Amino acid sequence: MLSIQNLEAKADEQAILKGISLDIKPGEVHAIMGPNGSGKSTLSNSLAGREGYQVTHGSVTYEGKDLLAMKPEERAREGIFLAFQYPVEIPGVSNIYLLKAALNAIRKHHGQTEVDAMDFLQLVKAKIKSLSLDEQFLYRGVNEGFSGGEKKRNEILQMAILEPRLCILDETDSGLDIDALKIVADGVNALRSPTRSFIMVTHYQRLLDYIKPDVVHVLAQGRIVKSGGPELALELEARGYGWIDPSLNH
Amino acid sequence: MDSVEHYQAFFKTGEGQLFPWLEALRAPARERFVAQGFPNPLEEGWRYTPLRSLERVRFTPAEAMSGVPSEPVDLELLKEAYSVVFVDGHYVAAASCLEGLPEEVQLKPLSLALRTPGEDLQGLFEDTAAAASCHRLEDFNTALFSDGLCLDIQPNYRLEKPIVVLHLTQQAQGLNTLQHRLRLAKGAQAHLIEVFIGPNDHPSLTTSMTYAVMDENASLRHVRLQREGKASHHFSGLRLKLKRSARYQGHLASLGALWSRTEIHAQLGSSAECELEGLLLASGRQHQDVETRLDHGGTHASSRQNFRGIANERGRGVFTGRIVVDPGAEKTDAGMSIRNLLLSGDAEIDAKPQLEIHADDVKCSHGVTVGQLDEEAVFTLQSRGIGEQEARHMLTFAFANELIERIDHEGARASVRDAFKATLPGSDLGSEL
- Percentage of residues in chain B having pLDDT higher than 90: 83
Of B381, B398, B432, the CB nearest to A91: B398
Contacts of B20 (CB under 8 A, 6+ apart): none
**C-alpha span between B49 and B316 (Å, rounded):** 10
Q: For B253-288, write each residue's pLDDT tens digit.
A: 999 999 999 999 999 999 999 999 999 999 999 999
Residues paired with residue B164 on neighbouring β-strands, in sequence order: B83, B193
Rounded-to-10 torsion of CA B359, B186, B182, B104? 170
CB contact under 8 A, A97 and B377: no
Which residue in B182, B194, B109 sits closest to B148, CA to CA?
Answer: B109
- A:B CB pairs within 8 Å: 88
For residue B433, is pLDDT > 60? no
The pLDDT of B143-156, averaged and rounded, is 96
Contacts of B296 (CB under 8 A, 6+ apart): B268, B303, B323, B324, B325, B326, B329, B332, B334, B359, B362
The structural domains of chain A, with segments of one domain joined by +, span 2-248
Q: For A110-134, write each residue's pLDDT tens digit.
A: 999 999 989 999 999 989 988 888 8
| Residues A117, A121, A122: CA angle, nearest 5 degrees | 120
Contact yes or no for B265/B237 (Cβ under 8 A): yes
**C-alpha span between A235 and A217 (Å, rounded):** 12
Give the H/E segment covering residue B141.
Answer: helix B136-144
Q: Which CATH architecture has domain A2-248?
A: 3-Layer(aba) Sandwich (3.40)
SS3 content of chain B, % helix, strand, coil (to 5): 20, 40, 40
Q: Is the model more confident about A55 or about B14?
A: A55
Q: Is the model more confident about A35 or about B290?
A: B290
Contact yes or no for B319/B338 (Cβ under 8 A): yes
**C-alpha span between A184 and A182 (Å, rounded):** 5
Which of the residues A97, A154, A162 would you substitute to probe the B interface, choosing the one with the greatest number of B C-beta atoms within 10 Å?
A: A97
**C-alpha span between B69 and B143 (Å, rounded):** 26
Nearest CA in chain A to B374: A90
| CB atoms inside a 10 Å sphere around CB A158 | 24
**C-alpha span between A196 and A1 (Å, rounded):** 9
Predicted confidence at residue B68, as pLDDT, reads 64
Cα-Cα-Cα-Cα dihedral sign, residues A154, A156, A162, A167: positive
Predicted confidence at residue B426, as pLDDT, reads 59
- DSSP result, B25-52: HHHHHHHHHHHH-S--TTSTT-SSS--H
Q: For A134-187, write each residue's pLDDT tens digit.
A: 899 899 999 999 988 889 999 999 999 999 999 999 998 888 888 888 888 998
What is the b/e burial string over B52-74, where b = at least 16 CB atoms within 10 angstroms of the residue's CB?
eebbebebbbbeebeeebeeebe
Q: Mean pLDDT, chain A, as a whole number?
A: 91
Q: Left (φ > 0), alpha (ψ -120 to 50) or beta: where does B331 sit?
A: left
Chain B: give the shortest CA distance to residue A238, in Å.
36
- For chain A, the straight-line distance linking the first and the last C-alpha, in angstroms and rounded, comes to 37
For residue B337, is pLDDT > 50? yes
For residue B213, is pLDDT > 70? yes
**C-alpha span between B415 and B296 (Å, rounded):** 32
Contact residues, chain A to chain B, C-beta under 8 Å: 48-51, 71-73, 75-77, 81-82, 84, 87-88, 90-94, 96-98, 100-103, 105-106, 109, 141-142, 158, 162
CB contact under 8 A, B388 and A71: yes
Q: Mean pLDDT, chain B, as a whole number?
A: 92
Which residue in B390, B379, B385 sits closest to A81, CA to CA?
Answer: B385
**C-alpha span between A55 and A44 (Å, rounded):** 12
pLDDT band, residue A203 (cuts 50/70/90): confident
What is the b/e burial string over A106-117, where b = at least 16 CB atoms within 10 angstroms of the residue's CB?
bbeeeeeeebee
Q: Is the model more confident about B337 or about A207?
A: B337
**C-alpha span between B429 and B394 (Å, rounded):** 7
For residue B162, is pLDDT > 70? yes
CB contact under 8 A, B379 and A72: yes
Which of the residues A86, A93, A112, A146 would you substitute to probe the B interface, choosing the one with the greatest number of B C-beta atoms within 10 Å?
A: A93
CB contact under 8 A, B398 and A92: yes
| Residues of chain A found within 8 Å of residue B401, distances taken between Cβ atoms | 92
Q: For B371-402, write each residue's pLDDT tens digit.
A: 999 999 999 999 999 999 999 999 999 999 99
| CB atoms inside a 10 Å sphere around CB B16 | 13
| Residues of chain A found within 8 Å of residue B398, distances taken between Cβ atoms | 90-93, 141
pLDDT band, residue B72 (cuts 50/70/90): low
- Percentage of residues in chain B having pLDDT higher than 70: 95
Predicted confidence at residue B14, as pLDDT, reads 80
**C-alpha span between B213 and B239 (Å, rounded):** 9
pLDDT band, residue B312 (cuts 50/70/90): very high
Which residue in A102, A98, A79, A73 sits closest to A88, CA to CA?
Answer: A98
Contact yes or no for B223/B248 (Cβ under 8 A): no
For residue A249, is pLDDT > 70? no
Q: For B234-255, write each residue's pLDDT tens digit.
A: 999 999 999 999 999 999 999 9
- DSSP result, B386-429: --HHHHHHHHHHHHHHHHHTT---HHHHHHHHHHHHHHSTT---
Which residue in B319, B216, B222 sits closest to B263, CA to CA?
Answer: B319
CB contact under 8 A, A76 and B374: no
**C-alpha span between A81 and A75 (Å, rounded):** 8
Which residue in B412, B428, B306, B310 sits closest to B370, CA to CA?
Answer: B310
| Residues of chain B found within 8 Å of residue A48, distances taken between Cβ atoms | 383
Of A77, A88, A92, the CB nearest to B380: A88
Chain B: give the shortest CA distance to residue A104, in Å.
9
Cα-Cα-Cα-Cα dihedral sign, residues A71, A76, A81, A87: positive
Chain B: give the shortest CA distance to residue A67, in Å.
13
Predicted confidence at residue B151, as pLDDT, reads 97
Contact residues, chain B to chain A, C-beta under 8 Å: 374-377, 379-388, 390-391, 394-395, 397-402, 405, 430, 432-433
Predicted confidence at residue B69, as pLDDT, reads 63
Chain B: give the shortest CA distance to residue A6, in Å.
24
How many residues make up chain B in this entry? 433
Instruction: Reduce the DSSP state of residue B229 to 3 states and report it.
Output: coil
Which of the residues B310, B339, B384, B401 would you substitute to probe the A interface, choosing the one with the greatest number of A C-beta atoms within 10 Å?
A: B384
For residue A237, is pLDDT > 90? no
Predicted confidence at residue A169, as pLDDT, reads 94
For residue B219, is pLDDT > 70? yes
Contact yes or no for B4/B31 (Cβ under 8 A): no
For residue B31, is pLDDT > 90? yes
Predicted confidence at residue B200, as pLDDT, reads 85
Which residue in B364, B359, B297, B358 sits closest to B330, CA to CA?
Answer: B359
Q: Could you tell me where the beta strands, DSSP code E, fall in A29-118?
A: 29-33, 53-62, 65-66, 80-83, 90-94
How do beta strands B273-282 and B302-311 pair? parallel
Indicate the residue type of A7: L
Predicted confidence at residue B431, as pLDDT, reads 44
For residue B118, is pLDDT > 80? no
Exposed, middle or buried by CB within 10 Å (0-12, 13-18, 19+), for B9? exposed
pLDDT band, residue A97 (cuts 50/70/90): very high
Contact yes or no for B204/B177 (Cβ under 8 A): no
Of A76, A92, A96, the CB nearest to B385: A76
